[in-house]
Amino acid sequence: MSSKEKNSVTILTESQLSSRAFKDEAYEFYKELRKSQPLYPLSLGALGKGWLISRYDDAIHLLKNEKLKKNYENVFTAKEKRPALLKNEESLTKHMLNSDPPDHNRLRTLVQKAFTHRMILQLEDKIQHIADSLLDKVQPNKFMNLVDDYAFPLPIIVISEMLGIPLEDRQKFRVWSQAIIDFSDAPERLQENDHLLGEFVEYLESLVRKKRREPAGDLISALIQAESEGTQLSTEELYSMIMLLIVAGHETTVNLITNMTYALMCHGDQFEKLRQQPDLMNSAIEEALRFHSPVELTTIRWTAEPFILHGQEIKRKDVIIISLASANRDEKIFPNADIFDIERKNNRHIAFGHGNHFCLGAQLARLEAKIAISALLRRCPNIQLKGEKEQMKWKGNFLMRALEELPLSF
């Protein structure tokens, strides 16, 4: 989006926010919004009118605001209820990310025990083994596409093992995940995505039947057990929860590993500093989360009660979208916000969200990134971009900041 277009645009659409062109210039656009239009109008097709939030303080406030709901049934009456855009939507949306208290608390509690500090630390040796095995495969070639060869397989193997899902199915998850996080309302894309989600539902039905017959010590078996003990988990909630854990369990970590590596490749001084001082790894991960936030925009929040923000009335049923990427570059919170600094102090980024919906898997994502990047730098000390950084392309995607590929030589 050119400067001229930025000045002339009065309403942003979903397709614009999802475009590659927008991703390429998003940070400059957000900077202008934070200065002059921190509440920016959106047109979200069938979802209606919305607002894009760009400032950090507003993001913190709204992520905890009880007037905003994740479950649209808590906002719309039965008569106002919007028609499902996808036939398979109901089977995949009854998860904790789309719920409000008390349902949210109930659903989160069911899986929280799998993501305790102790449980995550028990995965450390397994994650290290996976990282080393993946690097063993590519090291003789002196080349890899970081996304396909490393950043994607590592977290999908981890979450698949946690859930008890056959690893041979992991490539299917990549296609299904993209359909789930694709917000497009273009008719042809809707039809294609609905077909893919139908495949996903069929897969989950088959998987759950098998787990009922042969329960094991995995997380899906534990969720089925919870379902069988009463009304804690409906069938739709079960499918939706498995879907969320699969998608959220790898999509954000793929982006974290890839975006952090890309930032290091583009900032040679910071890359060399981290190689020389590996004890800066934790700080570097937090800075990578801030600098290229894996989740660029939050999922939808619906306004249940009207309120005023920056002199503008936010009406009931309006949609609120928060740019985590913009909030994490807010100059009022982060000095030299556009500088990638792995020694940044007081890094209060919100890459994992804030409030009730703070990412349950944040600790796991951090651990996976720490092991993955540490192994990469240790075993491939001369790693570098194969090609120019200007050639790297961001995916056209509403929610995520994700590179299509990241070719590296070493």
Cα separation, 241 vs 71, in Å, equals 15
Instruction: Return the pLDDT at 84.
Output: 58
- Whole-angstrom distance between the N-terminal and C-terminal Cα of the chain? 35
3-state secondary structure of 103: helix
* Structure tokens, 101: 């208290």
Other C-beta atoms lying within 10 Å of the C-beta of residue 89? 14
Q: Is residue 187 reached through a cis peptide bond, with omega within 30 degrees of 0 on the bond before it?
A: no
* Contact in structure between 147 and 255 (CB atoms under 8 Å): no
DSSP for 45-84, written as a single string: GGG-EEEEE--HHHHHHHHT-TTEESSGGGTS-TTTPPPP
Q: What is the pTM of this model?
A: 0.92
The pairs formed by 389-392 with CB atoms below 8 angstroms and a separation of 24 or more are 389/262, 389/265, 389/266, 392/262
| 3-409 CATH fold | Cytochrome p450 (1.10.630)
Which tens digit of pLDDT belongs to each residue from 314-330?
999 999 999 999 999 99
Domain boundaries, the chain: 3-409
Residue 88: the pLDDT is 66
Closest alpha carbon to 409 in 197, 144, 39:
144
C-alpha distances in Å from residue 292, one per residue of 126, 295, 301, 403 = 27, 9, 23, 11
Exposed e or buried b for every residue in 370-405, given b needs 16+ CB within 10 A? bbbbebbbeebeebebbeeeeebebbbbbbbbbbeb
Rounded CA gap, 335 and 367, in Å? 27
Rounded to the nearest 10 degrees, the angle between the axes of helix 124-138 and helix 153-163 is 140
- Compute CA distances 283 → 41, 155, 277, 361, whole Å: 35, 21, 11, 18
Helix (H, G, I), strand (E, B) or coil at 215: coil
DSSP symbol at 86: S
d(CA 223, CA 410) in angstroms, rounded, equals 43
Question: What are residue 352's phi and psi, to 5 degrees?
Answer: -100, 15
Alpha carbon distance 5, 7 (integer Å):
5
Among 57, 7, 14, CA closest to 33 = 7
Output the tens digit of pLDDT for each of the chain's 410 residues: 444 444 445 789 988 999 999 999 999 999 999 999 999 999 988 888 999 999 999 999 999 999 999 998 999 988 887 655 556 666 778 899 999 999 999 899 888 888 889 889 999 999 999 999 999 999 999 999 999 999 999 999 999 999 999 888 888 888 888 888 776 666 677 788 888 888 998 999 999 999 999 999 999 998 888 765 655 788 888 889 999 998 888 999 999 999 999 999 999 999 999 999 999 999 999 999 999 999 999 999 999 999 999 999 999 999 999 999 999 999 999 999 999 999 999 999 999 999 999 999 999 999 999 999 999 999 999 999 998 888 899 999 899 999 999 999 99
Q: Rounded to the nearest 5°, which phi and psi values hold at 11?
A: -140, 130
Sign of CA dihedral 184, 93, 360, 114: negative
Q: For residue 63, what pLDDT is reported?
A: 98
Instruction: Identify which of 256, 223, 216, 262 has the alpha carbon closest to the alpha carbon of residue 239.
Output: 223
